[in-house]
Homo-oligomer: A and B are copies of this chain.
Amino acid sequence: MARNPDDSRFNQQRDRVLKAAAHCFNRKGYSGTSLKDVADMLGLTDPALYYYVKNKEELVYLCYLRAADVGRDALERAVAEGGTGLDQARRYLRYHIESMVGETGPIAIMSEIPSLRPAHRDEVLDLSRRHSKRFEAILQRGIDDGSIKDCDVRMTGNAIMGSINWIPKWFHGAEAMARKLVEQFPQILTAGLARHS
């Protein structure tokens, strides 16, 4: 009962719960998906989920934390590998999309942050804002190093992140589409950024 934080079995199962929940939430929204929907995907019954999360609100919260993690990892990896700002932006997009459409996906769209209870809402909002800022910083770096043409990084960031955030709405696990997405999207989203076309 007292749970070891590194309990791999528990954490693995919980991760499966979070993925199933993300899948449902992305398709039918928070309201539209009942705990039974999530449980069914795992061959469980709804009360079993309460062994892994305190309640439905926490389930969403954890899905969003996971989504934030994935985004942050992609961004950090991209930055760590250096190169121009444009290189970093493209690599980040590639890594993030790879995670979304690949093994680690699906990742929950953070579309109902306001529904979280205040403490969780503020935390997730903060993570989300911080992520946007870091992406904008990459764009600014690109402008400074001459790889990206002068632009409003805030607005450009919003445009690009909107595309990314919307992906789970229309992508539904088709293998061929996943490959095209990873190949083309980073290019499409940054085609207008390059200083020298």
Interface residues of A (CB under 8 A from B): 27-32, 109, 111-112, 114-115, 151-152, 155-156, 158-167, 169-170, 180-181, 184-185, 188-193, 197
Cβ-closest chain B residue relative to A181: B155
Q: Cβ of A184 and Cβ of B170 under 8 Å apart?
A: no
Q: How many copies does the complex hold?
A: 2
Decide if A28 touches B112 in the complex (CB within 8 Å): yes
A185-B159 in contact (CB<8A): yes
Nearest-neighbor residue (CB-CB) of A197 within chain B: B197
Not counting A155-B188, A158-B167, A188-B192, a sample of 11 additional A-B residue pairs whose C-beta atoms are within 8 angstroms of each other reads A29-B112, A30-B32, A109-B111, A155-B180, A158-B170, A159-B163, A160-B163, A162-B165, A162-B166, A165-B169, A191-B191
CA distance A30 to B28 in the complex (A): 10
Q: How far is the CA of A155 from the CA of B180 in the complex (A)?
A: 8
Output the nearest chain B residue to A164 by Cβ-Cβ distance: B162
Q: A32 touches which one: B27, B114, B152, B197 (CB < 8 A)?
A: B114
Q: How far is the CB of A79 from chain B (nearest CB, A)?
A: 23
Decide if B167 touches A155 in the complex (CB within 8 Å): no
